[in-house]
Copies of this chain bind each other. A is one copy, B any other.
Amino acid sequence: MLKFSIGVDLGGTNLRIAAVDEKGVLLEKVTLGTKVALGRDHVINEMSDAIRHLADKYRPNYSLQGIGVGVPGIIDMKTGMLRESPNLPGWANSPVHSQIEQRLGTRVILENDANAAAFGEKWLGAAREADDMAMLTLGTGVGGGIVLGGRLWHGMTGMAGEFGHITVESEGVPCPCGNRGCLEQYASATAVVRMAREAIASGRAPGLDRAASSDPEFSAKAVYNLAIQGDQEAKRIFGRVGRALGIGIADLVNALNLPMYVVGGGVSSAWEAFSPFIFEELRQRSMVYAATAPEGSLSGGQGASAQVEPGGPTKTIVTRALLGSDAGLYGAARLPMIPS
């Protein structure tokens, strides 16, 4: 009997629940809106009902390995407390882990959503062949996850992988975390829109100005659309995204010397616009990268992820994620399959 598990991606906007078998085949995916306004209890109840429904549906033909839940925010792994969660107002400092377990009456693995996404890309995505990898997720904020030896590296209290708060400009834009010049302030969707509005306010970005005026939901996607149409200011903004990522990834390469760094999240759709700047910064800012960069590839070895080198990897691959918004869902489903 094939095993399966339930993965949950609990976002500020969508609540998604999937049944996935042990080979990575999606059995079923349910997408619900996260009714944040109705409060934590409501969301946890709705999630628990959907989990129970999916688990019961596939139990006759598969054996259930467990339930993994990815949530945005900083989780204290030792207490199961959600410490901070900007996208889930009112959830901070709540014992989310035990609340979900009580509702379901079974063990649940709670994980930071970016860690879950890293684990998903490692299982079925860009980092399939890499035992050691880091992922950066560029969404509303910038998150991250580290996999070492095929397992998530949580650090002491589960807070490892907060790459969005690496300092890339020591006197840069203030960040709600208390720091200035965090990577998140230059490489998140929020940052792209802020930089666009700054450019509009300066009067030097007529294209962005027109787009913003005509679109009440002016977004990072709209800025990207202008960039691929050749708008100079939009292109400059993604240049800044890439350079900030280049500084942050160079720090990681210098510190960790991992074989693979995967860039995912919604903003990674703009990979073509920002990635050349990542590689330019990496070559200048990391002698470790310069010594291990894939040869003859300005783009940093796209597709090289599929190669398995005898004796282990020797090249540093920086590449975009492959699973899109499903990375965290697959990663959450994978959690109960790997004994931690």
Contacts and interface: CB of A to CB of B under 8 A. Distances in A.
Contacts of A27: none
A156 B292 CA distance: 9
B291 A74 contact: yes
Contacts of A84: 287
Contacts of A258: 155-156
A177 B287 contact: yes
Given A144-B255, A285-B178, A291 B159 contact: yes
Contact of A255 (B157, B161, B170, B287): B161
Contacts of A148: 148, 153
Nearest to A83: B291
Interface centre among A284, A288, A290, A314 (most CB of B within 10 A): A288
Interface stretch (A45-53, A213-221, A246-254, A263-271): A246-254
A312 interface: yes
Interface string A164-190: 011111100000011110000000000
Interface centre among A76, A247, A287 (most CB of B within 10 A): A287
A316 B156 contact: yes
A252 B254 CA distance: 11
A113 to B, nearest CB: 16
Interface string A38-80: 0000000000000000000000000000000000001010100
Given A78-B312, A160-B255, 13 more contacts: A84-B287, A146-B256, A156-B292, A156-B314, A157-B292, A157-B314, A162-B257, A162-B288, A169-B170, A180-B285, A251-B251, A255-B255, A255-B256
